[in-house]
Amino acid sequence: MKRIYSYITVFVVISIVTILFYNLQNSTIDKKDVNETVYSLKVKEKDSFWIYEVYNNGALFISQEYIPAVKGKQVFKTKLDAEKIGKLVVNKLEKKMFPKINKDDLNKNNIYYNSI
Amino acid sequence: MKKMNNKSILRFLFLGAILTMSYSCSSDDDSDDTVGNWVKKSTFNEEARSSSTAFTIGNIGYMGTGYDGDDYYDDFWSYNMDTNSWQQLSDFPGEVRSAGVSFVINNDGYIGTGYNGDTNEELADFYKYNASTNSWTQIADFGGSARYGAVGFGSTTAGYVGTGFDGSDKKDFWKYDPTSDSWTEVYGFGGDKRKDGVTFTIDNNVYLGTGISNGVYETDFWVFNLDTEVWSQLEDIDEDDDDYVFRSNAVAFTINGKGYVACGDYGGSTDTVYEYNPATEVWKEKTEFELYARRDAVSFNNGERAFVALGRNGTLYLDDNMEFFPTQEQDDDDN
């Protein structure tokens, strides 16, 4: 009978240690992931149009003055337009995709541009 | 069973300790011998690609096209050396591609040729990028055969493209005249045919070297004078037995009147960097590239500052961007 108790104690101790170990490991991994991919978006007014900036851990990474992908120096006419595309860029970065915007992205978000 | 596990863990630890020791020893040796420091700049975190094409106008580097192991690209970006930030520009208007070539004439950039792996075709189309309007115009197709892995360079009046691979290795050179929008062949390059060589420009002289042909790394070294359009042969790059300049798929750039050849492939990706002094015609090894060794990277270079970005090491595609300071001491804390 005593033997069973000591077996149970050993089992419980091992379980607790294992669970604690995994939790600790997971939490450090989570922290690391978050630290590596902190992207933030700033939408700014410049003259009479809007630009977006993407920051990586607080450092300027992308400063987008023109509507990406389209021909010419076309600008975002509204804050919402710049914000929508900026958010899309951040989403792509967070999914570890290349942060490139194509014309489909612009059309889906109803961004106005001239197709010269 | 338990014994086995312990043994293999011990073996791992032992191996790890040896690796760590040999690694730190070799980097110690290098920092004793060579000068130069690489500093990490704004990076496409995990958004990696190689074989892109790049050129520089003033303090802005332009980079586009390329291959990430799955997809070929046609997007186009600028990197501002002063603000250390990127901006996506007007898409490259030709089909997606890798290993294209570029040159700058005055303040216009040109990108053309290359390889589209989706259609398995070498390409000859060419486009001009106007930075002041952020727009592309198609120009006359490249005068030579469709190819990739060529070299390109420009003067204030013309662009030049030569060597490369069109199914076999090439040594022909062509000149693009923007006023007549036409290509004419320029003769006189007496070097070996090759692909994936590099050039760097110091004043009015363009230096051409490295590259590979039929598995052999080329060791001949040439200079082309942009005023006289004459090629002259210089001492081979393997003249000094201690220099290992020869390689393929490298990048080259100029900082304050000296030329640099960095990274590339020599039976595997390499991280070595060599400096060429045109006054003494001597090569000197510099601090190796301080991140992954790589091939098919791009370089942004305005004659005073140089950045090396992207590329790949085997099937690992790379995302980072490093600036090189050739006269500084190596510092491991800024990578």
Selecting from A61, A103, A116 the residue whose C-beta is nearest the C-beta of B85 gives A61
Give rounded-to-5 percent helix, strand, coil for chain A: 50, 20, 30
The DSSP 8-state label assigned to residue B285 in this structure reads E
Model confidence at B149: pLDDT above 90: yes
Q: What is the tens place of the pLDDT at every residue in B234-262?
A: 999 998 888 899 999 999 999 999 999 99
A36 at interface of B, judged by CB pairs closer than 8 A: yes
pLDDT band at B196 (very low <50, low <70, confident <90, very high): very high
What's the pTM value of the predicted model, to 2 decimals?
0.82
Instruction: Give the pLDDT confidence score for residue A12 in this predicted structure.
Output: 81
A99 contacts on B by Cβ (under 8 Å): 44, 47, 88
Instruction: Give the pLDDT confidence score for residue A29 in this predicted structure.
Output: 46
Selecting from A36, A72, A98 the residue whose C-beta is nearest the C-beta of B47 gives A98
CA distance B179 to A101: 34
Q: What is the tens place of the pLDDT at every residue in B33-51?
A: 789 999 999 887 667 899 9
- Please tell me whether residues A53 and A7 are part of one structural domain: no
pLDDT band at A58 (very low <50, low <70, confident <90, very high): confident
- Please tell me whether residues A45 and A30 are part of one structural domain: no
Q: Is B217 helix (H, G, I), strand (E, B) or coil?
A: strand
Chain centroid to Cα B227, Å, comes to 25
Q: Do A61 and B42 touch (CB under 8 A)?
A: yes
Pair type for strands B205-209 and B198-202: antiparallel
Split into its structural domains, chain A has a count of 2
- Please tell me whether residues A80 and A51 are part of one structural domain: yes
A93 contacts on B by Cβ (under 8 Å): 45, 47
Selecting from A56, A63, A69 the residue whose C-beta is nearest the C-beta of B91 gives A69
B36-334 topology per CATH: Neuraminidase (2.120.10)
Find, among B45, B44, B66, the residue nearest to B54 by Cα: B66
pLDDT band at A37 (very low <50, low <70, confident <90, very high): low
Closest chain A residue by Cα to residue B49 = A98
What ipTM was estimated for this complex? 0.75
Q: Which domain holds residue A58?
A: 39-108
- Please tell me whether residues A98 and A79 are part of one structural domain: yes
- Please tell me whether residues A55 and A43 are part of one structural domain: yes
Instruction: Give the pLDDT confidence score for residue B30 in this predicted structure.
Output: 43
Under 8 Å between Cβ of B39 and B335: yes
Name the region of B113 (left: φ>0; alpha: ψ -120 to 50; beta: rest).
left
CA distance B112 to B97: 9
- Please tell me whether residues A103 and A58 are part of one structural domain: yes
- Please tell me whether residues A26 and A43 are part of one structural domain: no
Q: Which amino acid is at B217?
A: Y
- Please tell me whether residues A32 and A62 are part of one structural domain: no
- Please tell me whether residues A45 and A87 are part of one structural domain: yes
Domain ranges of chain B: 1-33, 36-334
Under 8 Å between Cβ of B330 and B36: yes
Q: Which two tokens stand for residue B251?
A: 């990048």
Question: Percentage of residues in chain B with pLDDT exceeding 70?
Answer: 90
Cβ contacts from A onto B, under 8 A: 73
Q: Is residue A75 part of a domain?
A: yes
pLDDT band at B11 (very low <50, low <70, confident <90, very high): low
Q: Which of A30-39, B70-79, B145-154 is least confident?
A: A30-39
What residues pair up with B323 in beta bridges, in sequence order? B39, B307
In this prediction, residues B41-67 reach a mean pLDDT of 91
Q: Is B320 helix (H, G, I), strand (E, B) or coil?
A: coil
- Please tell me whether residues A95 and A59 are part of one structural domain: yes
Under 8 Å between Cβ of B261 and B209: yes
- Please tell me whether residues A32 and A46 are part of one structural domain: no
Q: Is residue A65 part of a domain?
A: yes
- Please tell me whether residues A4 and A52 are part of one structural domain: no
CA distance A50 to A31: 34
Q: Is residue A113 part of a domain?
A: no
